[in-house]
Structure 1
Amino acid sequence: MIEIAVKYLESVTGAKPWTGNADRICRGVVIDSRGVEEDSIFVAFPGERVDGNAFAPQAIQAGAACVVLTVEPSRELLRLADEHECAVFTCDDPTEFLLRLAQGYRARMRCTVVAVTGSIGKTTTKDVLCALLSTRYRVHATQGNYNSVIGMPLTILAAPRNTEVMVLEMGMDARGQIERLSRCAQPTYSIITKIGTSHIGLLGSRENIARAKAEVCCGMPPSSENFEGHHSALVLSGEDDFTPFIIEHFAKPAGIDVILCGLSGDDDVSATSIEVGEDGRPTFNMMVRNGSQFKTTLAIPGKQSVGNALYAAAVASELGIPQFTIDEVFQSLQITGRRQEVRRAACGARVIDDSYNASPESMAAGLDLLSTLPCSGTRIAVLGEMGELGEEGERFHELVGAYAAAKKPGLAIFVGGENAQAMARSARMMGLGEDAVAVVPSCDKLIARYRTVLSATDLVLVKGSRFVGLDRFVEEVC
Structure 2
Amino acid sequence: MIEITVSDIVEATASRLVCGDPARTCRGCTIDSRKVGRDAIFVAFPGERVDGNAFAASALEAGAGCVVMTVDAPEGVRAAAEERGAAIVRTDDPTAFMLDLASWWRDRLGARVVGITGSIGKTTTKDVLTALLARRYRVHATSGNFNNLIGLPLTVLSAPRDTEALVVEMGMDGRGQIERLSRCARPDIAVITKVGTSHIGMLGSRENIARAKAEIVCGMRPGGALVMGASDDYFAFIRDGIAVPAGIEVVSCGSGDGCDVMVSAIELGEDGCPSFDVTFSDGARISTRLSVPGAQAVINAAYAAAVARRMGIDPSEIDAAFGALELTARRVDVRRAVSGARIIDDSYNAAPESVAAGLDLLCSLPCTGSRIAVLGEMGELGEESARLHALTGAYAAAKKLSLLVCVGGEAARAMAGAARMLGMSDDAVQVMDDTDAAIAALSDAFGPEDLVLVKGSRFVGLDRLVEEVC
Q: What whole-Å deviation, never above 9, does each CA across 1:225-258 have from its counterpart, x for those lacking one?
A: xxxxxxx210011110011111122101210000
Provide the residue aligned with 1:147 in structure 2: 147
Provide the residue aligned with 1:373 in structure 2: 365
Paired AA for residue 269 in structure 1? V
2-structure distance, mates of 1:436, 1:18: 65
Provide the residue aligned with 2:435 in structure 1: 443
1:350 and 2:346 aligned:
no
Shift of 1:171: 0.5
Shift of 1:74: 2.7
1:458 and 2:450 aligned:
yes
Specify the SS of the correspondent of 2:201. helix
Specify the SS of the correspondent of 2:291. coil
1-structure distance, mates of 2:57, 2:302: 50
1-structure distance, mates of 2:61, 2:183: 35
List gaps (5 residues or longer) in structure 2. Answer: none
1:424 and 2:427 aligned:
no
Specify the SS of the correspondent of 2:45. coil
Provide the residue aligned with 1:32 in structure 2: 32
2-structure distance, mates of 1:343, 1:352: 6
Provide the residue aligned with 2:381 in structure 1: 389
Shift of 1:43: 0.7
1:297 and 2:289 aligned:
yes
Provide the residue aligned with 1:20 in structure 2: 20
Shift of 1:421: 0.9
Specify the SS of the correspondent of 1:460. strand
Could you tell me whether the CA contact under 8 Å between 1:265 and 1:272 is conserved in 2? Answer: no
2-structure distance, mates of 1:282, 1:137: 27
Provide the residue aligned with 1:186 in structure 2: 186
Q: What whole-Å deviation, never above 9, does each CA across 1:452-474 have from its counterpart, x for those lacking one?
A: 12111111111111111111111
Match of 2:317 among 312, 325, 331: 325
**What is the identity percentage for the equivalent residue pairs of Structure 1 and Structure 2?**
60
Per mean C-alpha deviation after superposition, the further-off stretch among 116-125 and 452-461 is 452-461
Provide the residue aligned with 2:227 in structure 1: 235
Shift of 1:333: 1.1
Per mean C-alpha deviation after superposition, the further-off stretch among 28-37 and 360-369 is 28-37
Shift of 1:28: 0.6
2-structure distance, mates of 1:349, 1:165: 40
Provide the residue aligned with 2:170 in structure 1: 170
Provide the residue aligned with 2:91 in structure 1: 91
Provide the residue aligned with 1:266 in structure 2: 258
1-structure distance, mates of 2:23, 2:175: 39
- Give the TM-score normalised by the residue count of structure 1: 0.97
> 5 Å matches for 1:110-149?
110-149=110-149
2-structure distance, mates of 1:299, 1:319: 23
List gaps (5 residues or longer) in structure 1. Answer: 224-231
Q: CA RMSD in A?
A: 0.9
Provide the residue aligned with 1:256 in structure 2: 248
Could you tell me whether the CA contact under 8 Å between 1:191 and 1:311 is conserved in 2? Answer: yes
Provide the residue aligned with 1:363 in structure 2: 355
User: Deviation above 3 Å: which 4+ runs of structure 1?
Assistant: none
Provide the residue aligned with 1:228 in structure 2: none
Shift of 1:265: 2.4
2-structure distance, mates of 1:100, 1:109: 15
Q: What whole-Å deviation, never above 9, does each CA across 1:103-156 have from its counterpart, x for those lacking one?
A: 011101111000010000000000000000001100000001110011101111
2-structure distance, mates of 1:241, 1:301: 25
